[in-house]
Structure 1
Amino acid sequence: MEYQLVKIRTVFTEDDIESGLSFLEAEQDIPFKINRLYCVYERENKQKGFHLHKHSWQLLFCPYGVIDVLIDDGEKRKVVSLDTPSKGLILHPGVWREITWKVKDSVLCVATSGHYEPERLRTDYNMYLDFIRDRKLDNQIDTSKFYGEGK
């Protein structure tokens, strides 16, 4: 499954543990340039996501509250809990995601390598499985004979 957990640098003030700052830097802390950043605010037990981004990398993090992210590669499923501001989840292109707000008023922030292109989102799970199957077939084709490699 193509994902990574990353540590988002977080510091707290010495006199007030309730106050802190979390930060990251594109192309240094994460493996892509950020072209878009958005935040989603929802109530507890609300679910969103149910799609993949075919070509975009994403970093998901929860600066406030607790959010579970179910990730799926067409064969395996895993739930990652974003339960601290210092935990980030990097999703590689082509990973299906489903998001559940576990704590009331939690905030999800997403930094992505792509611009908003709704026509490139895949929101039907069966179409997602077709996409994964086709991608695997494409990767199995031996292109060396076409490019003169391996002689």
Structure 2
Amino acid sequence: MMSLIKLIDLPDLGDDRGGLVAIESNQSVPFEVKRLYYIFNTTDRPRGFHAHIELKQLAICLKGSCRFILDDGKSKEEILLDTPLQGLYIDGVVWREMHDFSEDCVLLVLASEHFSEADYIRDYQDFLKAVQNENRI
């Protein structure tokens, strides 16, 4: 797996009454959470198609499933998220696409920063240039 991406097992605190996962900044999530959002009702439309410059994210599929395609400028990797007990941690300049949302998919994303359009790279060629420049340093 790319060094800027990893699957994180979330603490399963459930018992015979049902499932429970506690998510805490700088504990189960490797950064301070400043923003969260969730995606739902997105069955036939891929999403993402961008990278971030500074933002760290943890994506958790609370219900259903979806497939991520992640690209660090050198290699691509596909990851299926289909359990609320794991989160996909993405750090650094990584192009991300989300595909194949199940009908019941609810994807929660925790972010290290508040929304800033300046942190987005929305053009794939600009992303490749940014990765090349980052590797020269």
Q: TM-score, normalised by structure 2?
A: 0.91
1:40-119 alignment, distance < 5 Å: 40-119=39-118
Q: What is the count of residue pairs matched by the alignment? A: 135
Does structure 2 conserve the Cα–Cα contact (< 8 Å) formed by 1:61 and 1:110? yes
Q: Is the CA contact 1:10–1:85 (under 8 Å) kept in the aligned structure 2?
A: no
Gaps of 5+ in 2: none
Following superposition, the deviation at residue 46 of structure 1 comes to 2.1
Structure 1 residue runs of 5 or longer lacking an equivalent are: 140-151
Contact 1:42 1:101 survives alignment (8 Å): no
Bigger share in strand: 1
Distance 2:109 2:67 in 1: 14
- Whichever residue aligns with residue 88 of structure 1, its letter is G
For residues 96-142 of structure 1, the C-alpha deviation after alignment (integer angstroms, 9 at most, x for no partner) is: 100014311311111011110012211110100000001111x2xxx
TM-score normalised by the chain length of structure 1: 0.83
Whole-angstrom CA distance in 2 between matches of 1:65 and 1:105: 5
- 8 Å contact kept, 1:51–1:121: yes
Q: Which runs of 4+ in 1 moved over 6 A?
A: none
Choose from 10, 15, 37 the match for 1:8: 10
Residue identity over aligned pairs, in percent, reads 30
Distance, in Å, in 2 between the alignment partners of 1:77 and 1:39 is 24
Rounded to whole Å, the distance in 2 between the matches of 1:51 and 1:77 is: 14
Indicate if the aligned counterparts of 2:55 and 2:119 stay in contact, CA closer than 8 A.
Answer: no
Structure (1 or 2) with the larger CA radius of gyration:
1
RMSD (Å) for aligned C-alpha atoms? 1.4
